[in-house]
Amino acid sequence: MIRIAATGDIHYDKNSHNRLGQHLIGIEEKADLLLLAGDLTQTGHPDEMRILAEDLKKCPIPTIAVFGNHDYHFNEIQIAKKILTDSGVILLEASSVIINIGEIKIGIAGLKGFGGGFVGACGSEFGEEEMKAFMRHSKKEARHLEEVIKNLNTDYKIVLLHYSPIEGTLTGERKEIYPFLGNYFLAEAIDYGKASICFHGHAHSGIERGETPGGVPVRNVAQPVIRHAFNTYTLN
């Protein structure tokens, strides 16, 4: 059995010292790895990321993260990336990592993702160049994700995103903003890549549980949804 601690949208700011760190004491008794589903900071300011990095240094289990849209706001993403990785966090950007837990190989494929919408209510590559660019980026992200998942030769394939791959976990959000909360191309990538489970954040007013059209479990672990420092999930 593999135990996964997951959370997202922790939105660290300059006053967040030890907000997560206090919950990491003894986490190794509850989980084998910790996943962070983006929006690690409030604005992506390096000072915010430094405070988070100090907390994450206390984590005794492998910590894997993706960035969210908030982490890009201050336009210091390379500095933020270095701060985070120097603290020992594995940051995934259309990439993967393999973690060995006993004799079990766990592959984690991660990227931020992007908006675009869902079947029947999605954008298209038509009209203004700005709209074409928006949808091209959505599709490009999904293609990257599918390739990364397929290249994993592991016992389990976990997908870590910020944006949602399905509508199901967005229930409770205003439907008008669904296209800015995720896109169905990500779900196609998850299904075609034969993933075991997917974690995402971003949808603060959504619900925790859903699944892709292909039946892959999807969990929205945004802190406003799970209402805990993290939730723990198991793969049997």
Q: What is the pLDDT of residues 84-138, one digit of tens each?
A: 999 999 999 999 999 999 999 999 999 999 999 999 999 999 999 999 999 999 9
User: Rounded mean pLDDT of 155-166?
Assistant: 98
Q: What is the pLDDT of residues 19-41, one digit of tens each?
A: 999 999 999 999 999 999 999 99
Contacts of 117 (CB under 8 A, 6+ apart): 123, 178, 179, 183, 184
Cα angle 186-195-63, degrees, rounded to a multiple of 5: 90
Cα angle 94-35-43, degrees, rounded to a multiple of 5: 75
- Domains, the chain, with CATH or none: 2-235 (3.60.21.10)
Give 52's pLDDT tier (boundaries 50, 70, 90): very high
pLDDT, position 236: 85
Which residue type occupies 203?
A
Do 89 and 56 form a contact (C-beta atoms < 8 A)? yes
Which 8-state DSSP code applies to residue 32? S
Q: DSSP strand E in 73-196: where?
A: 90-91, 95-101, 104-110, 117-118, 121-122, 156-160
d(Cα 83, Cα 214) in Å, to the nearest integer?
Answer: 37
